[in-house]
Structure 1
Amino acid sequence: MFVEKVIGDLGDKRRWRQYRARVRQLPQSHRAAVEAFERYQTSSGPGGGVPMFEDLAHLFEQSAADRTPLREVVGEGPVEFIETFAQNYGEDSWRNRERERLINASERATGREIRAVR
């Protein structure tokens, strides 16, 4: 537990490395699109975390395998695409987990029951 508190969840870190390896295997155009979405999503604040990026990679892997043009996947508005995509992951977002951790810390300080953190 101490290690996890210092460096974070090792399972999430492993999943993130696996996701990045999958993205590196995509064709250049698809890889560039995923990396742009990743950059946008991480710079615009907490998003859906690793599960969202794994699903994004899967979507682009499938579109590459099916030879679906990127424009058909993303549409005319890439910002609208990624923001709509990310909305599906709001419940498991970093911000929600951090809120729960804050509530738990407060409850521990007052001796109340602690909620399960996802």
Structure 2
Amino acid sequence: MAAKWIEALTGSLEQKKQYRDAKKRIEALPEPYRTTALAQHRYTMYYGGITDGDTLVQIFVDLADLWERASIDGTPIADITGDDPVEFTETYAQAYGGTQWIDKERARLIKAVDDAKKKESRS
């Protein structure tokens, strides 16, 4: 009973566990993969604006998988990120879709303009 109440306030406890596990996996990577993965993680948190917990957790689980595999295989970082790590990270995040905070604001903007047009047409 208490877990449901806590989750209602803070979000899924299972998602938080999965996120923490993925973050630990990233932090355990050998250099230079750790630095790259942590930078990509940080940028995704700022850039992504994703509000859907399942999507966000999946992004970071897959990020851990990606960089673990790269470190095991010895894949050069540039072979993964290409010449533009910003473009790579943004494309990576966009591939997951999910609800973003800006979606709510877009809907709010559209409604405000539509309401204003209706008021204008009545005048």
Q: Where on the TM-score scale, by shorter chain, does this alignment land: which range? A: 0.7 to 0.9
CA shift for structure 1 position 94: 4.5
What is the one-letter code of the residue matched to 2:77?
L
The answer on whether the counterparts of 1:27 and 1:64 sit within 8 Å (CA) in structure 2 is yes
Match of 1:38 among 30, 37, 41: 41
Match of 1:81 among 67, 80, 88: 88
The correspondence of residues 1-118 of structure 1 with structure 2, limited to 5 A, is 1-47=4-50, 48-90=55-97, 93-95=98-100
Greater RCO structure (CA 8 Å; 6+ sep)? 2
RMSD of aligned alpha carbons: 1.8
Q: Which has the larger radius of gyration?
A: 2
Q: Structure 2: any 5+ residue segments left out of the alignment?
A: 105-123
User: Identity of counterpart residues, as a percentage?
Assistant: 35
Q: Structure 1: any 5+ residue segments left out of the alignment?
A: 100-118
3-state SS in 2 of match to 1:28 = coil
- Residue-pair matches, total: 96
CA shift for structure 1 position 33: 0.6
- Deviation readout 1:81-117 (Å, 9 max, x if unpaired): 0111112210xx2438x96xxxxxxxxxxxxxxxxxx
| Inter-partner Cα distance in structure 2 for 1:12 and 1:94 | 16
**TM-score normalised according to structure 2 size:** 0.71
List 4+ stretches of structure 1 deviating above 4 A.
none
